[in-house]
Structure 1
Amino acid sequence: MATIRLSVVLASEARIGPGKAALLESMRDSGPISAAARSMAMDYKRAWTRLDSMNTAFDTPVVVAVPGGTRGSGAQLTSFGIELLARYRRLEATVAALATDDLAAIAARALPESSPKV
């Protein structure tokens, strides 16, 4: 089986790909960065660095800090962050749908994983 991993490279050379999209989804579902990172078996600093790189790549933040209450402070996706994630996932689905026949043709000629590679 073959898959496509879509990475969008911006003019600034910043990227958004499957890992950053998964992190945004995890934040959307889990809440704070620490919980999102834990759910992905990622350390907090790596998650924060990825989120910060997205924040600096766009003219609108993807994630913002939220003031603490009884649960303490945290961060959440902005409306732009939610839109960015939706647009990335839509691009990913479109590319996969358009490439189904080509992926199948490529996968049919690929050696099994256990075969020696040259």
Structure 2
Amino acid sequence: MTSNTINRDLAPILRIDFPPTDRLGRGKIALLEHIRETGSISAAGRAMDMSYRRAWLLVDALNRMFDEPAVEPQRGGKQGGGAQLTAFGEELVARFRAMEERLEDALDDDLAWLNARRAPPS
């Protein structure tokens, strides 16, 4: 990846629309990463300052978007279970992050050009 020191504050945001209504973006991917780290949908939601219900609805939407689930429940244990990423979920995160990196690399020169021509902050 090329250096983005000059244009660090300008960043393209990757969002993929799945017509008619579904979207995949950095919020859902970040939720998956938090589920990976915490082993829990509720803990992942708290880490992102969202309710369990909101986190669960996003996971449900992700699982319905594809032909296999990204997150699956983890049964049992002292804590009563949790959640974990499936192999597909892990690959989804890795591929999305790789797409973000390629997008940044592809637009690096254009972002530097835009940044050099920005008006100074008021």
TM over 0.5: yes
2:83 aligned residue: 75
Contact kept, 8 Å, 1:55 with 1:62, in 2: the verdict is yes
How many equivalent residue pairs? 114
Which of 38, 46, 52 pairs up with 1:38? 46
Paired with 1:12 and 1:86, the residues of 2 have a C-alpha distance of 25
The letter for the 1-side match of 2:57 is T
Aligned-pair Cα RMSD in Å: 1.4
2:16 aligned residue: 8
Describe how 1:29-108 pairs up with structure 2 within 5 A: 29-108=37-116
The alignment's TM-score, normalised by the length of structure 2, stands at 0.85
The offset of 1:32, in angstroms, is 0.4
Paired with 1:27 and 1:97, the residues of 2 have a C-alpha distance of 28
**Structure 1: unaligned runs, 5 residues or longer:** none
The alignment's TM-score, normalised by the length of structure 1, stands at 0.88
Larger relative contact order (Cα-Cα within 8 Å, sequence gap ≥ 6): 2
2:6 aligned residue: none
The offset of 1:107, in angstroms, is 2.2
Paired with 1:14 and 1:108, the residues of 2 have a C-alpha distance of 36
> Deviations 1:26-83 (Å, cap 9, x if unpaired)?
1111110111111111111111111111100000001111212212022111110000
SS at the partner of 1:92?
helix
Q: Which moved more, 1:12-21 or 1:97-106?
A: 12-21
